Structure 1
């Protein structure tokens, strides 16, 4: 097939917010030669449906997928499956792109029923990697992922560490990284020439996966140091655990406001329990921030210890690394520069979207 021929890409996603919708937004904006249709659930953790739609080109078509939800519910999932089957059957498209675990599972069942072969599934952090579930649930999710793979399509992981988890359970997959828009004419400033304070920042929902309890414990250690400040950009149901007086919770901010806050910070801290490949960290790297990341899946793909920051396994290690930066402030600039260079080299969204574009045409040619 001529790779200059525009395609109609049908995106199916249960969540309509967070990292999943950001990745879809990147694909739609950077592959604008194609027609994009998005069939989405109503879960929107960080803004209204209309706010999310404003981030997309006017040509993007949106349809609501009723009854689609993250949690397993036999009643809701059967209805969502039937609605998905009806929608895919009546909607002309060249490629079916499924996003996240629920759409990935139900979508591949529907594709198998309809004889649909041109199917791509991006996991965005598969359900079985979650750290807040029982061993029974983990085994169930692994079984469901393995079962769905046998129905067809190609599975795409967003990090090497996620791919390793798929391979560990003999689930076939490939890896295409998440990415970010590399800012042109970027000049890394030495912020220590402006202020002597160490501003430590994180962004995202205040939920169990982000482990705000650990963030708070680290911040508490520096409660008596007026030159060390902590900022959490975002909000969420666990904000009550961020009790340390040296933590500022900003609430949800626009993309421009988030970039401005990242621009005033010296260090990006992630205490996550698990990640796919965190877009928030990629944005921090894009703006030249050194990293201090928990040693979890997804995070470990972004930090190169001693070069663009450090990883840690517990609060004591994180505190020791913050003390290192206090005593070696020039390292903030040097490691921040390495973050930026790594981001340019590996996580340029233009390259990422090009890889997906090739995959779209590859599925059409092979099927």
Structure 2
């Protein structure tokens, strides 16, 4: 098959996921139509040889829809795979136009939100309602829902029930490939201990939560250091200032071996996101072997209950136990087994076959 991938946030975890989808299914031709319009950084570097064509997606909504339609007409993909809420809107609007306007042929659409926009907790209620309404309106134009985690799958199933139709929903879990720079079991914590966050500094990641947690940990263990591995998005410098004022180091963007080494030196990682899809950073930390605590949000219900926290008080209490015992008491086996490349490839292959109308094959679950 020929598969056209479309995204307006080709950076971070989304870029990693799109790249891996293509690398795990080399029997298909993969084309990319992408930008990073939702961030201030340049789009991520492409892995050489993965995408047959690499096109620029315009930032303008109207122009983006037109370019999606032009790409479908020019390259005639068997399916179009939209990644992110905005790209999902562009691709499904384009498909709707191709269905009703003469001279065009709509292609099946796969949709991976990588975290629904209506889940955001940093925007007004009216805007969340607007995004939810858009998803409701566009969902009937989806051929196959391809969520990246169980929670996203539940939300898609709810959209299904609202319309009384049966759009197939296949969870394609986020994974790390074997050649990822995160070296298995390479944890080598520093002394004195360092507690960190691995993420972009944004309202989604809630720096204020981490500041309050750090203050509570320091009250019991004054020698503990704190670091935020990442940087801001160029939109709100007050968030990085907040961390600096709390004596929390902000490393700036790190890549490759430097990033892996800094993560491996942490004594504990705390994932503070207020909402999420399923973050690649959780998988990276797990592979390296650093003890991990995650916020108790619906997207991370797959993580063990003993590793989840709801408040800074609870996060600090669990962190102190880990720092004193120098080990991770949580059992992560179930999560590790469900986020493997083999499982991702099988689920993705099934989704593409369903979208293209090919005979259904048994999926390994």
After TM superposition, the score normalised by the length of structure 1 is: 0.84
Tell me which residue corresponds to 1:93.
Answer: 77
Higher strand share: 1
Shift in Å at residue 218 of structure 1? 1.3
Q: Does 1:239 align with 2:240?
A: yes
Q: Does 1:207 align with 2:202?
A: yes
Q: Does 1:164 align with 2:154?
A: yes
Counterpart of 2:145 (choices 155, 158, 172) is 155
Tell me which residue corresponds to 2:254.
Answer: 253
Per mean C-alpha deviation after superposition, the further-off stretch among 56-65 and 311-320 is 56-65
State whether residues 25 and 56 of structure 1, in contact with CA within 8 Å, keep that contact through their aligned partners in structure 2.
Answer: no
Counterparts of 1:93 and 1:16, CA distance in 2: 20
Counterparts of 1:262 and 1:342, CA distance in 2: 23
Tell me which residue corresponds to 1:72.
Answer: none
Counterparts of 2:24 and 2:358, CA distance in 1: 24
Counterparts of 1:33 and 1:360, CA distance in 2: 12
Per mean C-alpha deviation after superposition, the further-off stretch among 150-159 and 316-325 is 150-159
SS at match of 1:15: coil
State whether residues 144 and 354 of structure 2, in contact with CA within 8 Å, keep that contact through their aligned partners in structure 1.
Answer: no
Shift in Å at residue 355 of structure 1? 1.4
Shift in Å at residue 168 of structure 1? 4.0
Counterparts of 1:183 and 1:85, CA distance in 2: 35
Shift in Å at residue 42 of structure 1? 4.0
Tell me which residue corresponds to 1:70.
Answer: none
Counterpart of 1:78 (choices 33, 56, 62) is 62
Q: Does 1:266 align with 2:250?
A: no
Tell me which residue corresponds to 1:28.
Answer: 22
Shift in Å at residue 317 of structure 1? 0.9
Please give the root-mean-square deviation of Cα atoms over the aligned residues, in Å.
2.6
Tell me which residue corresponds to 1:19.
Answer: 13
Tell me which residue corresponds to 2:102.
Answer: none
Q: Does 1:304 align with 2:298?
A: no
Tell me which residue corresponds to 2:2.
Answer: 8
Counterparts of 1:77 and 1:187, CA distance in 2: 42
Aligned residues: 340
Counterparts of 1:55 and 1:257, CA distance in 2: 19
Shift in Å at residue 362 of structure 1? 2.5
Counterpart of 1:113 (choices 88, 97, 103) is 97
Counterpart of 1:314 (choices 300, 311, 316) is 311
SS at match of 1:37: strand
Counterparts of 1:215 and 1:100, CA distance in 2: 27
SS at match of 2:47: coil
Taking structure 1 as reference, are residues 120 and 226 closer, same or farther at Cα in structure 2, changes over 3 Å only?
A: same
Q: Cα deviations across residues 154-182 of structure 1 (Å, max 9, x unaligned)?
A: 22222222223334453654422111124
Tell me which residue corresponds to 1:219.
Answer: 214
State whether residues 120 and 153 of structure 1, in contact with CA within 8 Å, keep that contact through their aligned partners in structure 2.
Answer: yes
Structure 1, unaligned stretches of length 5 or more?
1-6, 68-75
Shift in Å at residue 294 of structure 1? 1.1
Taking structure 1 as reference, are residues 219 and 139 closer, same or farther at Cα in structure 2, changes over 3 Å only?
A: same
State whether residues 111 and 146 of structure 2, in contact with CA within 8 Å, keep that contact through their aligned partners in structure 1.
Answer: yes
Q: Does 1:55 align with 2:42?
A: no
